[in-house]
């Protein structure tokens, strides 16, 4: 039972016991193919469990068998709600009661269930259970007045033998103390790839071929009823034989019972044979949709891994399935199955990418694209090569001396030697201990990713192998170029260009029962965007209420939510991370949301910094958003324009200036001596002041707007004198008469960055998207830096991407994920 709380791969290790038994000299008897469900499970009961919602994969079925046979009450790790759904459906006829620790009367419900022998489900528990449950977990019953009794706290109640107790938790990686683990049966009900694939296959077939899925479901029910009836007939025959006295051939009633049982059994067997043949034909038709189910299953486990990076990156299975169903409805249709599946694949993959990207920080968006790409191509990727790309290989001290330390670093030489173990080998002559000089051309190039490899490697190596070579020679170019090119080549360019922040779309994806969550980052303030959006929706004055959470603010926030639910107003709770003790109450309030009690116009907006204490259920089911400045000048400038539909040329200048001061942060002390939290509010107030001066004066007062923007709005955050001097110098390039008078005013000596000609708002958007510059790769000269300045920034990001990806591959089980992230951060620095 020890391995039950681990995943399917670890549980498979128990089958190694079979090999151990075979190898021992005592020849211990054992089965060739051991299966817990075949040994302890009842096929009739298992089929009923599957109908009730238990996934059909072997791992989930084995868990169900353990729940049914274990002497201890089960505690099920259930982040996707599979166990909850199964228990609620299978025990529904037995008057199942459901409680949470947040319920005020949960102990009363518990006592009633114990007395009357009805099943009880305790859901959404944390890493600790109420100590008052210990007698129940240990089943410390005793006799009193001839009745079984149990003591809960100070109360003694009767204990019914029919009582069943189930416990579930939403935590995906809980750490339970040994004292608790020995009192319960700890089971991992996290969905498996095979179980999810089967569910997604059923959904897509039900939508595409509803008659096929309806017929299959009817056959499953009929088959279960037939098998149950056969079991009852067998039981009846055994009872007849047992109760018969004397010679059974002389017992007419017994013979009649046996004859009728035989006739009925033959009829049921014939029906069952026909049903099984039909079921096989239906299964063959359903298999045509297997590729999209398998593809989508990979996508789900790609986003499930994101919680290892940040505790706010959590997504529920129901959210994923709803997105899947929407893609089935919205994607292009075709009568040709292959085309239809391709349309559905492409639509769902990009739809998922867009929905997940809006909840990720900018630093993690390229990592997510790379993770998505690698998981989808895992069958095409050689595992050893992939791990080498992530880690650089592992080896002892290199016995070969670096042939040319003047340009080749020892770290690069060690990785080259380790990479030479691959079959495609490297251009290294170990007999002479030298490396071909043609490789130095790649090292010296400003664009090594575009330099063709020496023959024959330029034709024989695939994209991943070329990335390994680039990793060894120029790791600083892997992030911005190699990874982006790799993802673009495999998935498309749109997967490296995250969609800009769109509050309207997020609002449309929500309803009165789904909270909208802003995940905050240093320098980001979504309130200005939210207030502007509320004004557009006419949710102003008493229709919009906001409160910053903290000590003593919980009851006020509760009252605001209750009033908002009734009156249909918007409620914004800011800084939820500061009210950790009130979070369980917020979770309870959100769980009570339903379409009957919530006004259709009601919306609950939440803002919070990443916190492991933020309620998981709200994160999984809410619409999460980040409002950071996008990575890259073009996306940064595009977001500024999309959020403020003005088309003055000076607006282009101030938006460009805002993008530059944001992007310089990536260069560390080379960009700013001290990192500053420039945010969207600085840009918004600068734009309002600019518009005010343009409307009030015949000529633009550049000195005034330069002072307000440079000294007050942005300069108010700057504390270093040299940083202030740099800021004002940069601003002079954007606030001057030439930007208005010169139709092609350039912002850089290269001329690649220039002011667009005067036009409409749509012209400016088109110019930013297409005409301004065609590549997302940033040019160092616009920052006033040399080309060498990119190396530090790119190398840092590259190491971070690969280290975190390696972390996701191993998925270590630690109590505190924050500590693990801190260790990664310290290693990168």
DSSP string of 452-515, one letter each residue: PPPTTHHHH--HHHHHHHHHHH-GGGIIIIIIHHHHHHHH-GGGGSPPPP-HHHHHHT--TTS-
549 and 697 in a single domain? The answer is no
Is residue 812 included in any domain, yes or no? no
**58 DSSP 8-state letter:** H
**754 DSSP 8-state letter:** B
CA 138 to CA 221: how far, in whole Å?
38
- Residue pair 544/550 in contact (Cβ under 8 Å)? The answer is no
- Residue pair 803/824 in contact (Cβ under 8 Å)? The answer is yes
Tokens of 675: 């990192």
Q: Give the residue among 127, 133, 130 at the shortest CA–CA distance from 172.
A: 127
Is residue 417 included in any domain, yes or no? no
583 and 645 in a single domain? The answer is no
350 and 214 in a single domain? The answer is yes
Q: Write down the pLDDT at residue 263.
A: 79
Tokens of 589: 């309030």
Alpha-carbon radius of gyration of the chain: 33
CA 124 to CA 79: how far, in whole Å?
9
CA angle at 710 for the pair 706 and 712, rounded to the nearest 5°:
110
**746 DSSP 8-state letter:** B
116 and 144 in a single domain? The answer is yes
Tokens of 775: 């590549």
160 and 46 in a single domain? The answer is yes
CA 501 to CA 812: how far, in whole Å?
33
Tokens of 65: 């068998």
70 and 175 in a single domain? The answer is yes
The dihedral region occupied by 392, where left means phi > 0, alpha psi between -120 and 50, and beta the remainder, is left
CA 574 to CA 550: how far, in whole Å?
9
Listed in sequence order, the residues at least 6 apart from 146 whose beta carbon sits closer than 8 Å to its beta carbon are none
CA angle at 43 for the pair 41 and 47, rounded to the nearest 5°:
115
CA 78 to chain centroid, in Å, comes to 15
Query: How many C-beta atoms lie closer than 10 Å to residue 549's C-beta?
Result: 23
Given 329, 359, 389, which residue is the final one in a domain? 359
Is residue 484 included in any domain, yes or no? no
Q: How do the residues of the chain divide into helix, strand and coil, expressed in percent and rounded to 5? A: 60, 10, 35
- In the three-class reduction of DSSP (H, G, I as helix; E, B as strand; rest coil), residue 596 is classed as coil
Per DSSP, what are the bridge partners of residue 517?
Answer: 606, 624
Tokens of 695: 């409307």
CA 116 to CA 520: how far, in whole Å?
49
Is residue 365 included in any domain, yes or no? no
182 and 197 in a single domain? The answer is no
CA 690 to CA 704: how far, in whole Å?
10
Is residue 705 included in any domain, yes or no? yes
45 and 26 in a single domain? The answer is yes
- pTM (two decimals): 0.74
CA 541 to CA 660: how far, in whole Å?
36
Tokens of 788: 């060498």
CA max distance for the chain = 120
Which residue segment(s) compose the domain that 701 sits in? 633-775
Is residue 795 included in any domain, yes or no? no
Q: Write down the pLDDT at residue 728.
A: 92
Instruction: Please count the CA atoms within 13 angstroms of the CA of 55 that sit on its side-chain side.
Output: 26
CA 450 to CA 481: how far, in whole Å?
9
Q: Give the residue among 755, 753, 760, 737 at the shortest CA–CA distance from 745.
A: 755
CA 324 to CA 806: how far, in whole Å?
28
741 and 674 in a single domain? The answer is yes
CA 803 to chain centroid, in Å, comes to 18
Tokens of 136: 């129940």
Given 359, 381, 413, which residue is the final one in a domain? 359
Tokens of 84: 């909850």
Is residue 354 included in any domain, yes or no? yes
Segment-wise mean pLDDT, segments of 10 residues, the chain, 829 residues: 50 54 61 75 83 86 90 92 91 91 88 94 90 92 90 90 93 88 91 88 87 76 75 75 70 73 77 76 84 93 88 90 91 90 94 93 88 88 85 77 82 83 64 65 82 81 86 78 87 88 89 92 81 89 90 91 93 92 90 88 94 89 84 68 60 86 81 86 87 82 91 91 92 87 79 77 74 50 66 55 52 43 43
- Looking at residue 110, which CATH number applies to its domain? 3.40.50.300
Instruction: Please count the CA atoms within 13 angstroms of the CA of 275 that sit on its side-chain side.
Output: 19
CA 538 to CA 615: how far, in whole Å?
30
In this structure, what are the phi and psi dihedrals at residue 744, rounded to the nearest 5 degrees? Answer: -135, 60
Classify strands 428-429 and 434-435 as parallel, antiparallel or unpaired. antiparallel
173 and 265 in a single domain? The answer is no
- The total domain count for the chain is 4
Is residue 597 included in any domain, yes or no? yes
243 and 295 in a single domain? The answer is yes
CA angle at 33 for the pair 28 and 38, rounded to the nearest 5°:
105
Q: Give the residue among 147, 181, 175 at the shortest CA–CA distance from 161.
A: 147
Given 359, 376, 406, which residue is the final one in a domain? 359
620 and 722 in a single domain? The answer is no
CA 683 to CA 474: how far, in whole Å?
37
Listed in sequence order, the residues at least 6 apart from 474 whose beta carbon sits closer than 8 Å to its beta carbon are 442, 443, 448
- Looking at residue 665, which CATH number applies to its domain? 1.10.8.720
Q: How far is CA 311 from CA 600, 611, 613, 620, 688, in A?
A: 30, 6, 9, 11, 37
CA 817 to CA 607: how far, in whole Å?
22
CA 543 to CA 561: how far, in whole Å?
12
Instruction: Please count the CA atoms within 13 angstroms of the CA of 681 that sit on its side-chain side.
Output: 13
CA angle at 651 for the pair 650 and 655, rounded to the nearest 5°:
120
Element (H, E) at 604: strand 603-608
């Amino acid at each position: 039972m020890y391995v039950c709380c681990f995943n399917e791969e670890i549980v498979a290790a128990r089958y190694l016991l079979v090999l151990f038994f075979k190898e021992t000299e005592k020849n211990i008897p054992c089965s060739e193919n051991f299966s817990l469900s075949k040994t302890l499970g009842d096929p009739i009961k298992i089929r009923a469990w599957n109908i009730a919602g238990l996934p059909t994969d072997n791992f989930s079925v084995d868990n169900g068998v353990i729940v049914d046979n274990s002497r201890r009450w089960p505690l099920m790790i259930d982040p996707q709600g599979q166990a909850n759904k199964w228990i609620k459906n299978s025990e529904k006829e037995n008057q199942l009661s459901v409680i949470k620790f947040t319920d005020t009367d949960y102990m009363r419900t518990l006592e009633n269930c114990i007395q009357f022998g009805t099943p009880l489900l305790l859901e959404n528990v944390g890493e600790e259970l109420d100590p008052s449950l210990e007698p129940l977990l240990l089943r410390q019953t005793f006799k009193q007045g001839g009745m079984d009794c149990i003591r809960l706290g100070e109360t003694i109640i009767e204990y019914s033998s029919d009582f069943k107790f189930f416990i579930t938790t939403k935590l995906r990686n809980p750490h339970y103390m040994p004292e608790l683990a020995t009192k319960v049966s700890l089971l991992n009900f996290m969905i498996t790839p095979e179980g999810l694939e089967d569910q997604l296959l059923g959904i897509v077939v039900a939508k595409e071929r509803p008659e096929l899925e309806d017929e299959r479901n009817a056959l499953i029910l009929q088959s279960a009823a037939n098998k149950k009836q056969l079991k009852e007939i067998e039981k009846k025959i055994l009872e007849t034989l047992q109760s018969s006295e004397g010679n059974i051939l002389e017992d007419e009633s017994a013979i009649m019972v046996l004859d009728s049982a035989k006739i009925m059994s033959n009829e049921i067997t014939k029906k069952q044979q026909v049903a099984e043949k039909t079921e096989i034909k239906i299964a063959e038709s359903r298999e045509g949709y297997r590729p999209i189910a398998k593809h989508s299953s990979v996508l789900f486990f790609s986003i499930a891994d994101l919680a290892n990076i940040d505790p706010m990156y959590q997504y529920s299975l129901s959210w994923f399935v709803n997105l899947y169903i929407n893609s089935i409805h919205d994607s292009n249709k075709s009568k040709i199955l292959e085309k239809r599946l391709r349309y559905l694949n492409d639509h769902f993959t990009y739809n998922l990418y867009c929905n997940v990207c809006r909840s990720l920080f900018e630093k993690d968006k390229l990592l997510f694209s790379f993770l998505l790409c690698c998981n989808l191509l895992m069958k095409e990727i050689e595992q050893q090569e992939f791990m080498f790309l992530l880690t650089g290989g592992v080896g002892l001290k290199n016995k070969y001396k670096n042939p040319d330390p003047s340009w080749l670093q020892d770290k690069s030489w060690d990785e080259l030697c380790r990479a030479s173990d691959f079959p495609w080998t490297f251009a290294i002559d170990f007999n002479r201990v030298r490396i071909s000089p043609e490789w130095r051309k790649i090292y010296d190039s400003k664009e090594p990713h575009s330099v063709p490899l020496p023959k024959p490697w330029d034709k024989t190596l695939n994209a991943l192998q070329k990335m390994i070579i680039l990793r060894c020679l120029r790791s600083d170019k892997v992030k911005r170029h190699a990874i982006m090119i790799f993802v673009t080549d495999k998935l498309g360019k749109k997967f490296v260009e995250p969609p800009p922040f769109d509050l309207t779309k997020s609002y449309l994806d929500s309803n009165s029962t789904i909270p909208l969550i802003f995940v905050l980052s240093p320098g980001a303030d979504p309130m200005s965007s939210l207030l502007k959006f509320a004004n557009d929706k006419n949710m102003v004055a008493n229709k919009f209420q906001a409160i910053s959470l903290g000590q003593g603010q919980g009851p006020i926030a509760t009252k605001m939510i209750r009033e908002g639910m009734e009156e249909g107003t918007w409620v914004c709770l800011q800084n939820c991370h500061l009210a950790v003790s009130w979070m369980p109450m917020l979770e309870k309030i959100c769980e009570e949301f339903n379409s009957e009690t919530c006004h259709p116009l009601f919306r609950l907006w939440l803002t919070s910094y990443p916190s492991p204490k933020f309620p998981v259920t709200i994160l999984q089911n809410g619409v999460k958003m980040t409002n950071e400045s996008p990575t890259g000048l073009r996306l940064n400038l595009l977001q500024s324009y999309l959020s403020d539909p003005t088309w003055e040329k000076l607006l282009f200048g101030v938006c460009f200036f805002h993008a530059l001061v944001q992007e310089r942060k990536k260069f560390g002390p080379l960009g700013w001596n001290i990192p500053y939290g420039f945010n969207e509010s600085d840009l918004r107030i600068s734009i309002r002041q600019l518009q005010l001066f343009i409307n009030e004066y015949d000529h633009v007062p550049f000195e005034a707007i330069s002072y307000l923007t440079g000294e007050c709005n942005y300069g108010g955050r700057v504390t270093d004198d040299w940083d202030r001097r740099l800021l004002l110098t940069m601003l002079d390039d954007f606030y001057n008469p030439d930007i208005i008078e010169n139709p092609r005013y350039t912002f850089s000596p290269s001329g690649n960055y220039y002011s667009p000609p005067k036009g409409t708002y749509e012209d400016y958007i088109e110019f930013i998207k297409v005409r301004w510059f065609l590549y997302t790769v940033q040019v160092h000269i616009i920052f006033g830096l040399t080309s060498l300045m990119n190396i530090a920034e790119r190398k840092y990001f590259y190491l971070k991407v690969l280290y975190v990806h390696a972390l996701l591959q191993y998925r270590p089980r630690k109590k505190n994920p924050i500590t693990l992230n801190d260790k990664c951060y310290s290693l990168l620095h």
